[in-house]
Chains A and B, each alone.
Chain A
């Protein structure tokens, strides 16, 4: 049981816009920044979004992030087949004194 809650899967067709959520609480997302990672199976995770809505260099503008109270969202516009991967949200939890992850969302490009 993950501390952050993510939908197990989302899907979309090429060119579509998809969003995925990450739900937390007042001890994690409510007071700390959210980071998102993209993981293609068999490879190491890659930082996709930090401080809730900041893109590292090299991440396309098609990716965007937001946060509201105790939830965060990742949006991908202009969906491409290469976006098919697992996506994880994470934040620091002040009560647990730990980094906590969501269970991950598998994105399928139909």
Chain B
């Protein structure tokens, strides 16, 4: 059974770079889409971006200039970086596995809480 285990720095200062990594166990990166979602306090879910098995990426247009999603097949993990963070980036960040572009996300990580202080 595929599981996603994620980690990253929980407290950042404004203008720093957010970095969260998600390790895949029980399966490989091949053949799937690897997705990042976030949820600000008391708010709904927001798609950040994703990378597919070919290394192609798609990003939320509102975040595109600051976001990078990458994958390391040798370590069987994928990562999210968000540059120049502000308080508005304070959220729980989730990684997830999808079967294709826009398709269902059947496996989720446990979430990583990131707080940005000014």
Contact = CB atoms under 8 A, between A and B. Distances in A.
Interface of A: 2, 32-33, 35, 37, 39, 44-47, 50-51, 56, 86, 88, 90-92, 96-104
B45 interface: yes
Contacts of A88: 44-45
B39 to A, nearest CB: 8
Interface of B: 35, 37, 44-47, 50, 58, 60-61, 94, 101-106, 108-111
B108 A44 contact: yes
A51 to B, nearest CB: 7
Given A37-B45, A45-B94, A99 B102 contact: yes
Given A45-B94, A88-B45, A101-B46, A33 B109 contact: no
Contact of A56 (B58, B102, B106): B106
A33 B44 contact: no
B61 A98 contact: yes
A97 B110 contact: no
A66 to B, nearest CB: 16
Contacts of A50: 103-104, 106
A81 to B, nearest CB: 23
A92 B60 contact: no
A39 B102 CA distance: 19
A35 B35 CA distance: 15
